[in-house]
């Protein structure tokens, strides 16, 4: 004889009520899973977009510039001897590639039209090895090899190109202030138009080869070195290895991970987590109220039986344990059914590839793909067990406070 077996048999007494309770729990579990899948998809999509959009997993900067925002560093490409640093970084086994970066600001002109720009100068061949993607909308990507003097190429953001009326193949003039305060201008050919994914940024952003930017800014240094890892999940071991390789250098270098450079990601994560737990709270409340009522009804139908069990010497804790077991069985069975339902729904929704509208400020939408992880199923199941334990509190309190003679006389 086992308490769990007795509890299970008690659930079978009123099958219709039990099935309804299981349906409520399963629906709640599936809703939580789908929400968790969407949130996880959003996080991983955003993480991927941030890293592959040019930020990389790490950025190596001069230690005295580590606290500055990248835009503050733009006019000061002070990291000299950067090829040696890059070689040391690329020798680490976790690193797929590393590339020097210069951030510049200036003015770009075509004919009588001009606009301010923010330039990101990179090593395109290394960016490709790091898996960074350029969302080209017209023309072609920057050449991998450093362009010869007079053959410089530039990619224009869509909004910026529209503002100055530039198309692929046009010649534009880029003008910046050099580190020593002089104005310098270089003519470049627009090899293509691209989007960063953000409308506001597309109004200002251009990309060019690092060698072109160094010619334009009259410098041989870089602002920083961006590092791409082979396995983004192994951030910490890679950090330890890179810190070991970078230690002892003069000037001192700092290693910044992508999270610290993308506060936007943290804000989005906080917002989505808040939404998830808010929805979870609502599901918790609905399942709790619904099942508390069902469990209370089941208890009221068995008042005389509870009186008998107490008369036979069952402790009040024993009576409570019986009702708690019944609630936990409901929670477990309902959650398992909900896990299966959630998984099936997620697969169906993923197969449908429903197109979601563009997020605020973004240029294009994205196909809905729910990402469910094993821990989501565990979390949803544990949450439902907790819901049912809370739901059982009132029935347990009522059952354990019954006077034996009143319970035995209950009709």
**Residue 47 or 326 having the CB closest to other proteins:** 326
Q: How many CB atoms lie within 10 A of CB 378?
A: 12
Cα of 94 vs its chain's centroid, Å: 22
Cα angle 108, 215, 160; round to 5: 20
Q: Which of 105, 199, 308, 369 binds other proteins (CB under 8 A)?
A: 308
Per rule CB under 8 A, is residue 310 in the interface with other proteins? yes
Per rule CB under 8 A, is residue 14 in the interface with other proteins? no
Considering only the stretches 5-13, 81-89, 363-371, 373-381, report the one whose residues sit in contact with other proteins under the rule CB under 8 A. Answer: 5-13
Per rule CB under 8 A, is residue 402 in the interface with other proteins? no
Q: Least separation, in Å, of the C-beta of 8 and other proteins?
A: 9
Q: Which of 114, 178, 314, 369 binds other proteins (CB under 8 A)?
A: 314
**Residue 241 or 305 having the CB closest to other proteins:** 305
Q: Which of 116, 285, 311, 348 binds other proteins (CB under 8 A)?
A: 311
Considering only the stretches 8-16, 41-49, 81-89, 333-341, report the one whose residues sit in contact with other proteins under the rule CB under 8 A. Answer: 8-16
Per rule CB under 8 A, is residue 401 in the interface with other proteins? no
Per rule CB under 8 A, is residue 255 in the interface with other proteins? no
d(CA 315, CA 313): 6
d(CA 61, CA 80): 11
Per rule CB under 8 A, is residue 404 in the interface with other proteins? yes
Q: Taking Cα atoms as reference points, which of 18, 31, 59 lies closest to residue 235?
A: 59
Q: How many CB atoms lie within 10 A of CB 79?
A: 24
Its sign, for the CA torsion 305, 310, 311, 314, is: positive
CB proximity list for 229: less than 8 A, separation 6 or greater: 57, 58, 94, 95, 96, 235, 238
Per rule CB under 8 A, is residue 4 in the interface with other proteins? no
Binding site for other proteins (CB under 8 A): 1, 6, 9-10, 12-13, 304-305, 308-316, 318, 403-405, 408
């Amino acid at each position: 004889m086992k308490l769990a077996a007795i509890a299970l048999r008690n659930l079978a007494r009123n099958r219709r009520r039990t099935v309804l309770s299981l349906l409520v729990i399963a629906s709640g579990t599936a809703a939580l899973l789908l929400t968790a899948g969407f949130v996880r998809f959003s996080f991983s999509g955003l993480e991927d977009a941030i890293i592959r959009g040019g930020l990389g997993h790490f950025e190596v900067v001069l230690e005295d510039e580590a606290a500055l925002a990248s835009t503050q560093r733009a006019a000061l490409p002070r990291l000299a001897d950067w090829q040696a640093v890059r070689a040391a970084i690329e020798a680490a086994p976790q690193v797929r590639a590393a590339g020097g970066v210069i951030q510049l600001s200036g003015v770009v002109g075509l004919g009588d039209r001009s606009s301010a720009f923010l330039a990101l100068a990179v090593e395109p061949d290394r960016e490709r090895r790091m898996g960074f993607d350029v969302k080209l909308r017209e023309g072609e990507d920057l050449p991998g090899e450093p362009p010869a003097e007079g053959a410089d190429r530039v990619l224009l953001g869509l909004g910026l190109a529209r503002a100055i009326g530039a198309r692929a193949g046009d010649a534009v003039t880029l003008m910046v202030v050099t580190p020593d305060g002089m104005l310098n201008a270089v003519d470049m050919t627009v090899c293509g138009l691209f989007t960063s994914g953000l409308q506001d940024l597309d109004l200002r952003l251009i990309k060019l080869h690092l060698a072109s930017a160094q010619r334009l800014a009259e410098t041989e240094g870089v602002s920083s070195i961006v590092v791409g890892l082979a396995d983004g999940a192994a951030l910490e071991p890679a950090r330890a290895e890179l810190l070991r390789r970078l230690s002892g250098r003069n000037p001192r270098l700092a290693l910044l991970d992508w999270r610290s450079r993308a506060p936007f990601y943290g804000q989005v994560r906080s917002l989505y987590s808040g939404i998830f737990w808010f929805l979870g709270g609502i599901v918790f409340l609905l399942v709790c109220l619904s099942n508390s009522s069902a469990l209370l009804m089941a208890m009221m139908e068995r008042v005389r039986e509870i009186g008998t069990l107490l008369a036979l010497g069952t402790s009040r804790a024993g009576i409570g344990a019986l009702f708690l077991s019944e609630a936990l069985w409901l929670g477990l069975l309902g959650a398992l059914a909900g896990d299966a339902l959630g998984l099936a729904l997620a697969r169906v929704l993923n197969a449908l590839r429903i197109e979601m509208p563009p997020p605020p400020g973004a240029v294009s939408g994205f196909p809905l793909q729910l990402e469910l992880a094993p821990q989501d199923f565990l979390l949803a199941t544990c949450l439902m067990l907790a819901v049912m334990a809370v739901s059982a509190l009132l029935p347990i309190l009522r059952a354990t406070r019954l006077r034996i003679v009143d319970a035995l006389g209950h009709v």
